[in-house]
Amino acid sequence: MKIPNILVVPITVAVIAALSTLVGFIAHWCGAYSPQAWGFFTLIGIMGAGILFIAFRQLYWLIFRKGDYEKRKK
């Protein structure tokens, strides 16, 4: 399925917010003291994981010069 570039960011934000809300509901159901915090920290964790993925991908390319950023012959 091909998603138009203009919709990638809104769809990603919606998916992360839905996942965080789901985690909050599950935490509330399990009797957590602060289910909103669980959802919030899940959101922060997912965003942090995305940032780390991008940083490590860039570092990998910088070291090995392989992967997404290879110069392709025209």
| Lowest-confidence pick of 3-7, 45-49, 56-60, 68-72 | 68-72
Query: What pLDDT, in 10s, does the model give residues 13-54?
Result: 888 888 888 888 888 888 877 877 887 888 888 888 888 988
Q: Is residue 71 part of a domain?
A: no
Q: Is residue 70 part of a domain?
A: no
Q: Is residue 72 part of a domain?
A: no
Q: Is residue 73 part of a domain?
A: no
Which token pair is 65?
């010069």
- Contact between 28 and 16 under an 8 Å Cβ cutoff? The reply is no
Q: Is residue 74 part of a domain?
A: no
Amino acid identity of residue 46, one-letter, is I
Which token pair is 63?
């070291």
Q: How many domains does the chain have?
A: 1
Q: Is residue 22 part of a domain?
A: yes
Q: Is residue 1 part of a domain?
A: no
Structural domain harbouring 27? 9-64
Residue 65 has pLDDT above 60, yes or no: yes
